Structure 1
């Protein structure tokens, strides 16, 4: 009888060891400062932005994504995932049918109404909204915690952080350049100092001429841009190739960035998404600003 009891106790202990971690709750703070707690690591995740999909794959949780949204095309395997809408509309019925245990959202990529409707579903939401380049790495770590893939996530976050640190050390103290970043042409949109891209500008030794604007993505006039006297105009496009989005500046022959050809084109997928590839976009930006510095040194 004693032997049987010991045997049963051993089986029970083994069962607890095997099943315990799977049932253990996990918690992480999102970018809004909210603590997200799950009864167990997420196994069915819906990603509602292209960059959150990239973050999840970097965190080692790609196999746990059951759906994403339009334009979530990186890494390549993400293209095969089911889609539940885009920034304008979400298929809530399909989201519910997929039975997610975690939804990762981009607060500025969805309407407030959509976010409220998602919250009403009582499914845990993780808000992703990085404001500094270092925040992207932290987002990878936190999603790794929630998905139970912390080892992979921490390795990816460490590699990312090392690249950001290296770029800051190399470029941030170089001769400052006044930068106008054009987000869109009509209406003419730029960004303030709270935007992640503005941090990339700082990393490269640039000065965002509209840093003090109140709105994250403010509307400005061409006259305001001219008055700010930027030395460099930065824009993003598909593949980083020049397009007609800067055509509005053609009549302004004395506008320094146009007159001196101090325009830096970036790949929009790299600089505009708040995923780990933004460090590649930041490197493109730093190299572009350095070319302007070289030109200014040669032809003041």
Structure 2
């Protein structure tokens, strides 16, 4: 398995760089080939998770612009901000003269990305949707910035950690889970969301897996109707006590009686290597539910 991952990393590097003189070319998640004359030295990231991915891939020292709320690792706090993910400051980005802009397809405005491209900036658009996209994007950034060894270490560590959890909970009793990503209005996730992948990996069953939208808004009555065995989630870091209290005070008795587990949203709602920490927290919570039901 390790050999296979190494071969995949080599193939990414080959696809990204045909010869030293030809520069770098890599297809992004739009299917658009992005070309660099040389490895990226001046990088701007347009979402917090992209800054984190750049640092994890070994390119953090080259990041000179980040989106608001880019707070991990701590070094990202000292980098100039270029707006938030939903509305970036194109002029400020252009003034930084980046040779690579890492963008988020569903989080950034398409018009902003088009303006940056018209200004001659290389924009690599990403759309992480599955757990496997985290190591894939780490390797892609490593190829674009010529930091492949660091990127491969981070990608392999993530794959190995997730693989260990998958093996550990492969035969575990299924636990029906309601996952809250926001409280007012109450928002959860469908099976198309990466959090649902984590729930499944830990031997859980997302009770709203078949919802038609990625992050459906639901009522407390709807949650009670699908009969979860546990409630997990958290909308803001550091609000574990408030999260538990809100569910203990729910107006529906059946929901008040359920076990409640807070998961730091930064560990599971950002598509980064820290998802492994979030997955371990989810798996530990579901295992506690199983132990208490024996």
Query: TM-score scaled by structure 2?
Result: 0.87
Instruction: Mark the CA change 1:266 to 1:197 in structure 2 (over 3 Å): closer, same or farther.
Output: same
Q: Which residue number corresponds to residue 246 of structure 2?
A: 247
* Alpha-carbon contact 2:244-2:260 (below 8 Å) kept: no
SS at structure 2 position matched to 1:100 = coil
Q: 1:270: Cα distance to partner?
A: 0.8
* CA distance in 2: counterparts of 1:289 and 1:179, whole angstroms: 9
Q: Does 1:278 align with 2:275?
A: yes
Q: Does 1:268 align with 2:275?
A: no
SS at structure 1 position matched to 2:238 = helix
**Aligned residue runs from structure 1 range 86-101, under 5 A:** 86-101=84-99
SS at structure 2 position matched to 1:213 = coil
Runs of 4+ residues deviating >4 angstroms: 20-23
Instruction: Mark the CA change 1:226 to 1:117 in structure 2 (over 3 Å): closer, same or farther.
Output: farther
* Alpha-carbon contact 1:184-1:245 (below 8 Å) kept: no
**Aligned residue runs from structure 1 range 216-235, under 5 A:** 216-235=214-233
Q: 1:39: Cα distance to partner?
A: 2.2
Instruction: Mark the CA change 1:33 to 1:296 in structure 2 (over 3 Å): closer, same or farther.
Output: farther
Task: Choose which of 282, 287, 295 in structure 1 pairs with 2:284.
Answer: 287
Instruction: Mark the CA change 1:176 to 1:34 in structure 2 (over 3 Å): closer, same or farther.
Output: farther
CA RMSD of superposed structures (Å): 2.1
Instruction: Mark the CA change 1:111 to 1:63 in structure 2 (over 3 Å): closer, same or farther.
Output: same
Instruction: Mark the CA change 1:36 to 1:245 in structure 2 (over 3 Å): closer, same or farther.
Output: farther
* Alpha-carbon contact 1:239-1:268 (below 8 Å) kept: no
Deviations 1:9-56 (A, max 9, x none): xxxxxxxxxxx9764421233334443222221111100111111111
Task: Choose which of 147, 169, 172 in structure 2 pairs with 1:171.
Answer: 169
Instruction: Mark the CA change 1:277 to 1:251 in structure 2 (over 3 Å): closer, same or farther.
Output: same
In our comparison, the structure showing a higher alpha carbon Rg is 1
Deviations 1:128-167 (A, max 9, x none): 3222212101110011001111121112211111111111
Query: TM-score scaled by structure 1?
Result: 0.85
* Alpha-carbon contact 2:94-2:116 (below 8 Å) kept: no
Where in structure 1 are there 5+ consecutive unaligned residues? 1-19
Q: Which residue number corresponds to residue 69 of structure 1?
A: 67
How many residues in Structure 1 have an aligned counterpart in Structure 2?
275
* Alpha-carbon contact 2:90-2:112 (below 8 Å) kept: no
**Aligned residue runs from structure 1 range 40-55, under 5 A:** 40-55=38-53
Where in structure 2 are there 5+ consecutive unaligned residues? 1-17
Q: 1:98: Cα distance to partner?
A: 0.8
